[in-house]
Structure 1
Amino acid sequence: MSPIVIKPDLAIDLATAGAVVARTGVDGQIAAISLLYGGEISAVYELALAGGLPPLVLKIYPDSMSWKMRKEARMLDLVRDRLPVPAPRLHLADASRDLIGLDYVVMSRLAGDRLGPLEQQLPPPLRQSAFRQVGRLSRAFHDIAMEAFGYIGPDGVWTAHADNRTYLTVQFDRKLTEFSSRGGAPDLALRIARHVEACSGLFEACAAPVLCHNDLHPGNILARADDDTVTLTGVVDFEGALAGDPLKDVAKALYYLSAGQREAFLEGYGPMTRTEVGATLDIYRLLFSLELWCWYAQFDATDKLAPLIADMELLLRSQ
């Protein structure tokens, strides 16, 4: 299967950036344009404004996933003033395509640096403090109730499910089908399917869906540190948000963290009253490894696949 290239590769000149800013109603002149860190999907630029005005962020979506522009705008409206950490303020969502040729949003540029690189420079007490704050942020997302289980689209939950067991059964089936179509081992797919069927009762413990960021890793969190404190200053990238089990979101957040970071995250997150929390986190990690394998396989990133297979095998053996 041929690799898929999604992320837009655009050169945004000063005149185009100025026309974009003019549509936002912000009264400022473009001083500089720089490419910001971003994932595989969207192209993200910082628009520096003259006269000391706060900078803006221009996020451009690929044509094949233009609907994510409307989704992100919807998510930013949903979380406004409901999190302990700032989310970007939306200035403009433009689907006209007459300036850039693709859908885009313009947002406020949050203060701080990405937590991923920053935390590597922090002493252990500050690193623990940062990830306790990440845990509290995750809990705040999960205080936002949703109307049904499922992935969130531009106008609400897509293919809404009334219960978590149905949602997760469908999700595993869909990803196992994709796994097989992309060359995944049939024996592994069969063992995962049998394991999910045996453990599917774990999904029933979640009675009501909540908002899940679904990508709350240190690259999507901003922070600022001084000599003796560290403070989270922002959370970004709501493209992957879903409505589901909070433990599903916790499992994905923990996936990116070291043992010490996981401990601090869980301390900040607070008590979990569910039974069999560990087993539930493990089966959600299995789903995430499967999803990530399918994601990398479509880009032909073969060097990423073997560790994910090893993780899935380990999770199956541990049960």
Structure 2
Amino acid sequence: MKAEKEISSCRTIIQRHFGRRCQLREYKVLLRKTDYFVADLTLSNPSQRVVIKLAGPNAPISSSFDRTFAINQQVWKQSGIPTYEAIAFDMSHETVPYRYLLMSHVEGQLWSDIKKQVAPEEFRAIYRDFGWAVAQIHSISYNSFGEIGSKGEVIATETNYASALSRRATQRIRNPRHQEMFLSLLQQNKGLFNEINSPRLTHEDLNPGNILLTNHDGKWQLAAVVDFDSAWAGGFESDLARLELWRGMVGKGFFEEYQTINPIPVNYPQRRLLLQLLWCLEYADPSQRHYQDTKRICGKLGIAPIVFNDEF
């Protein structure tokens, strides 16, 4: 029944945007969570492939597709990185019982799916491509820090990065105790962030499931960076800190290429642990692997290990 509702909604959406003769020939589910659905659709009349995201009222992801659309437009127009093109969105629930975002299809395979197939020496070129792409994202600047609104503007603006980061942490750390602990640490170390005064587009979710690679003539290369749902006008070091925490996301060639476009401040390592801790507390996965990563960061910060449960 759930699948029928999703497919019926997809048919309604594609005919709304591509005409009543448009037909859904095939679909492939890319992700399904509670009341949340991402699929690759193959269409006819016109013949093309698109990707669609549907989010109902009980979706665990906030799914502000209007702001994702606006951010994608900025990336599409202001950077040279390969990504999808956002085609349409609707937040009203009036056409179908979902919020939705319709995007162009990008040919490629997820980094997470092919990383074991690629020889270590081949990854150097991938790391260079990726370093260039991340630096291009960070070249998009704003007048203030804060969340990005549905028209691409910064809302709830802050001129001080530490204040903006505090607001961001309050919104994204669900456990009140963890939230209080992080805000206290940030307050104690806010002087470290004084030199961060240039708000940049910050993706915040450059994980292996959001990076597409493609093979041309036997060589793997970057195909696209996708999923800007968590992006904001922040401090670009946050992306770098998270990438360094996630296994295998940076390697030889990444930082060399990155810094040809966007130099990294010499004091970045002093801020890195706090930025990594924020991700640990946002994600709050009770798995042993996440606990060990968080424990290691807590040890370097000189604080007690943090324990997660299934709820937080």
Q: 235-244 or 163-172, which moves further after superposition?
A: 163-172
1:118 to 114, 121, 138: 114
- Distance in 1 (CA, whole Å) between partners of 2:156 and 2:35 is 22
Task: Using the TM superposition, give the Cα deviation of residue 164 of structure 1 relative to its aligned residue in structure 2, in angstroms.
Answer: 0.8
Change over 3 Å in CA distance of 1:291–1:262 after alignment to 2: farther
Match of residue 290 from structure 1: 281
Whether 1:30 aligns to 2:19 is no
Q: Identity of counterpart residues, as a percentage?
A: 21
What are the Cα deviations for residues 145-169 of structure 1, in whole angstroms up to 9, with x where unaligned?
1121123343533422111122234
**1:240 and 2:237 aligned:** no
**One-letter code aligned to 1:278:** P
Structure with the larger helix share: 1
- 2:81 is the alignment partner of 1:85: yes
1:227-266 equivalence runs, <5 A: 228-258=218-248, 261-266=250-255
Q: Which amino acid aligns with 2:162?
A: R
- Cα deviation for residue 223 of structure 1 reads 1.1
Q: Give a deviation string over 1:198-243, Cα, whole Å, max 9, x none.
A: 4322211111101111111221011102454222111211110011
Q: Residues 73-118 of structure 1: CA distance to partner in whole angstroms, max 9, x if unpaired?
A: 1111111133333222222212343443011021111111112212
Shift of residue 137, structure 1, vs aligned partner: 0.8
Q: How does 1:268-279 map to 2 (within 5 A)?
A: 268-270=257-259, 272-279=263-270
Describe the SS at the equivalent of 1:132.
helix
Q: Write the mapping of 1:70-109 to structure 2, written as runs, cut at 5 A.
A: 70-109=66-105
CA distance in 2, matches of 1:93, 1:62: 14
Which of 57, 60, 69 aligns to 1:63? It is 57
Across the aligned residues of Structure 1 and Structure 2, the Cα RMSD in angstroms comes to: 3.1
Q: Name whichever of 167-176 and 131-140 sits farther off.
A: 167-176
2:148 and 2:33 map into 1 onto residues whose CA distance is: 19
Identify if the C-alpha distance between structure 1 residues 172 and 106 changes in structure 2 by more than 3 Å, giving closer, same or farther: closer
SS at match of 2:158: coil
8 A Cα contact 1:67 1:153, kept in partner: no
Matched, 1:212 2:193: no
Aligned residue for 1:282, secondary structure, equals: helix
Query: Partner residue of 2:37?
Result: 43
| TM-score, normalising length: structure 1 | 0.80
Moved more, 71-80 or 51-60: 51-60
SS of aligned partner of 1:80:
helix
Instruction: Call closer, same or farther: CA 1:134–1:41 in 2, change over 3 Å.
Output: farther
Deviation at 1:19, TM superposition (A): 2.4
Query: Which amino acid in structure 1 is aligned with residue 233 of structure 2?
Result: A
Give the corresponding residue for 2:310.
Answer: none
Say whether 1:140 aligns with 2:132: no
The one-letter amino acid paired with 1:122 is V
- Change in CA separation of 1:281 and 1:17 when aligned onto 2, cut-off 3 Å: same
**Does structure 1 conserve the Cα–Cα contact (< 8 Å) formed by 2:127 and 2:254?**
yes
CA contact (8 A) 1:213 1:240 kept: yes
Distance 1:69 1:49 in 2: 22
Residues 11 and 287 of structure 1: is their aligned pair in 2 closer, same or farther, counting only changes over 3 Å? same
Secondary structure at the residue paired with 1:57? strand
Following the alignment from structure 1 to structure 2, what is the Cα–Cα distance between the partners of residues 30 and 211?
35
Counterparts in 2 of 1:31 and 1:248: CA distance versus 1, 3 Å? same
Paired with 1:149 and 1:41, the residues of 2 have a C-alpha distance of 31
273-282 vs 69-78, greater mean Cα deviation = 273-282
Whether the 8 Å CA contact 2:79–2:140 is kept in 1: the answer is: no
Distance 1:40 1:76, change over 3 A: farther
Name the structure 1 match of 2:213: 223
- CA 1:305/1:139 → structure 2, altered by over 3 Å: closer, same or farther? closer
Quick check: 1:195–1:316 contact (8 Å CA) kept in 2?
A: no
Deviation at 1:125, TM superposition (A): 2.0
Provide closer, same or farther for how the CA distance between residues 38 and 114 of structure 1 changes in structure 2, counting only shifts above 3 A. Answer: farther
Inter-partner Cα distance in structure 1 for 2:255 and 2:196: 18
How big is each residue's C-alpha offset from its partner over 1:49-87, in whole Å with a ceiling of 9 and x where there is no partner? 247922111111232566611111111111113333322
